[in-house]
Each structure stands twice: as C-alpha cells, then as structure tokens.
Structure 1
Amino acid sequence: MINKNRQLKEAKVAEIREKLEKAQGVVFSQYQGLTVEEDTELRKKLREAGVEYKVYKNTLTTLAAKELGLDGVVSYLEGPVSVAFGYEDATAPARVLNDFAKTHKKLELKAGIVDGTIYNSEEVAKLASIPSREVLIAQLLGSFKAPLSNLAYLLNAIKEKKESAEQA
C-alpha cells in the first residue's frame, strides 16, 4: 500500500515537472474564497486562452520545482495554490488571471515563471500588460506597412504631377 502511494506521488511529481518544463509561462495564484460559479467562469476563460489550470499539492509542486532548479518559487507555495500553464503564449496565464482578479478580489496572484525566471505578484501583473504574440506581430507588421503606404502615396503623387505637367 505504501509503495503504491509513493509510486502515485512520484508519477504526479513527474507530471508537474513535465508541465513546468513545457510551459512558456506559469502563474501561481491563491483561489481560496472563489465560489463554484466564479471558479467555473475562470476555468472557462483560461481554457479559451489556451491555458491549462490545475491544483496540485504544494509538496508535490515543490519537489517538481526543486528538480528543475526553481527553488525560488517554493516560498510562494503556501496555502491553497493553483497553477496556470501557458504553452503557446507565455503571458496568457498572467493576462487572464490578472483580468479576473480585478473583478474577483478573492483571487490573488502569487508568482509566475517565464523562461525560467521567477517573478513576484507585482511583476506578474506587469507581465499581464504585455500583449499576446499575435497582437505584437500585428503591431510590428502595421509599423512596417505605414512607411510603405506613405512611399507608395508619394510615388503616385509624383507620377500624377509628371502626367499633368506633360498634358499641359
């Protein structure tokens, strides 16, 4: 019985470690006090953003974090802590949880990890203000497009001026 329990715990630690390794962004939050409806709403918003949301035992999360050399996150794993994993967009967990926390004061951001760097709750809130990758790409393309559009307009105006001068 004890051996089977240990195997289950080791498997869970391996699962957490794998998710921490694979995720581009991870956010730890305290969810105590949320109603079932609020929790369901939060999970739906996270799912829509492509974020996986789990609740693990802190001791198992601590073991997984230590195995990955993320010892700095251990101090944040006290009380009921949930973990949001963003695999596609590193800032998605921070954005969704931060937006939700603005209207639901019971949800508290504790810490986050992006590319192996650990951030406290204030830094996670700052990460939440970074637009998604798609938005950043669109902004970049827009900044490329504006000068090209101006150049095309200028060249067209020169052409029309020459044509009108030739006709006169």
Structure 2
Amino acid sequence: MFKLIFVTLIAFFAVLFVYGDGETRRVTAAPTEPATEAAPQENRAAEAAEEAAAEARAQAESESAAQQSAAEVEQTPEQRPRYAGPELRPSPEYANQQPAEDLAEAPTDTLYVTGSSVNFRAGPTTSDNVVGRLSRGQIVTAIGPRTGDWVEIRDGQGRTGFMSAQFLSADQP
C-alpha cells in the first residue's frame, strides 16, 4: 500500500515538473507607456479647466435626473395582511380577565412574586444567565424603572437581577 502511494506521488510530481512552468505565482508588471514630450504649461491649464467644466456639467445633469426620477416614483400603498378564517377572539378562559397591573402606578418599590417558581436573570432577556429563583409570595424591591416588560429587582438575599413584569405584583398574592 505504501509503495502504491509513493509511486503515485512521484508520478504526480514528475508530470508537474515536465508540463508545469515552475512559476506558480507569476506577477506581471503593467505595460508602461512611452514617455511623451512635456506639454506647455498653458495647454495643461486649459485641459484642466475643460475637464472641470465637463465634470460640473455631468454632475448637474445627474442631479436633475435624480430629482426628476424621485418625483415620478409612486409609493406602494400600505397593505394589511389578510388571514384566512374568522376574526380572532380571546379564548374563553381569558375572556373576562383584567389586563396585567401597571407596576409603574404601585405606591412603593416593594413587589411580590406571583409565579410559583420564577427565575430572575442577569439581564432583561430570557437568554441572560439565571441569578436566582424565587417562589410565590416572596418580597422583592424594584431598583429600576417599572414601566417595561422587565423590572430590575433586588431579592431578600441582596442579589440583583431582572424579572419579567408579568410575574410581579404590588399586591400580596
């Protein structure tokens, strides 16, 4: 087996040696233009002025064309998605429930955990690390704003973190 691999490699390198040119990375220089006679100073200044004027005309034309095309573009009307089936209604078990309480209107920073076992986390998302777990009725202190979906809290052990506002209440459960 070893001999077969060795012979194959030798044959491969022999083919490369015979048919390859030996330069795997060839860098070619760009052809140079023959040197021309130096133009007089007046001709250079006139050419530069002509080029600047041509550029200014081209820029003015492109700006007017852009303004004209922007005026001609019609906006697509707003479209609402249509879903097959009847209008959505709340399920019967949630039909008569009050909306979640607004913690921002709570008289104190003392809040109660309403869930049976709720994690509180290092940041305001479920992908952040869990700092601790609190059970129903435990008292926490809100140390951040209470207006969003997540509230920054401090538990009885002095740990701080974030808990979803849906599991907190100003009233003791």
State TM-score, norm by structure 2. Answer: 0.21
Point out the structure with the larger helix share.
1
Report the structure number with the largest CA radius of gyration. 2
State TM-score, norm by structure 1. Answer: 0.21
